[in-house]
Structure 1
Amino acid sequence: MNNLFPSRRDFMNMNRNFFGDSFDQLFTDAGDFSVDIKEKDKAYTLEADLPGLTKEDIQLDYRNNVLSISAHQETGKDEKDEEGNYIRRERSTRSYSRQFLLRDIDEENITAKFENGVLTVDLPKKETEEPKTKRIDIQ
């Protein structure tokens, strides 16, 4: 009785057999990208891998101690025969979004560059005093 209902694995296998492995990647890789954040004495450095995108595809914002990275990409592929009729036409849209909580950042001096599919963001730290600890008596 249990085999009457297809499982997710059955769907993905049918998908792979029907469309090929490239269609499967649209579902597994969508929505995420790799990020490394390094803390130094006076700044944070963030590196995000965004291959296949251009800097125009990427939006970068820092607001309320949150760094937001979002990207949107639309692609299309048309194949026509000799008469100009479509024999294959594909379109895809991808959107990515990540957010990171980074406190005590000097917002005015944040810099970013995008080279060879890697977004590098330098986030200098503000000069702040160490928070004082207040001992609380327990009654």
Structure 2
Amino acid sequence: MRRNILLFSTKFLCTLFIICTIIMLFIAYKDIDNNIATKFGMCYFYLTLFIVIYMLFSTILNLRKLGWIELKERILRFIFIFILFFSVKCGFDYIIRHLEIDLLDELKSALSIAFIFIFSDIMFLEKRKN
């Protein structure tokens, strides 16, 4: 029963985030500037922070449901995708901008993209895989 509550809350938060994102895009597109829009923007910011933290913990908790072989494959794919995105982003920054490469920025973006590509479906796991 607890797994169903976790899955339901994850789906609910994702749906709520999509709806709030559409509303925020509408507010930004129409250039609405009043007290309600400002408060909604602040609530949207806090919702985004909460969802990022929730999804990270949900993914870590659901990693226990994977078998060792699949977990090992995912970690190897994560490392490969991370190195690929890091090298491509550094290369494009060097070729296009000819500026100093900010390694911390490159690492953050490559790490987050690789994490999303490899581990995003784990948030919605329902049963244990052996």
TM-score bracket for the superposition, by shorter chain length = under 0.3
Q: Which has the higher contact order (CA 8 A, sep 6+)?
A: 2
Higher helix proportion, which one? Answer: 2
TM-score by length of 1: 0.22
Structure number with bigger Rg: 1
TM-score by length of 2: 0.23
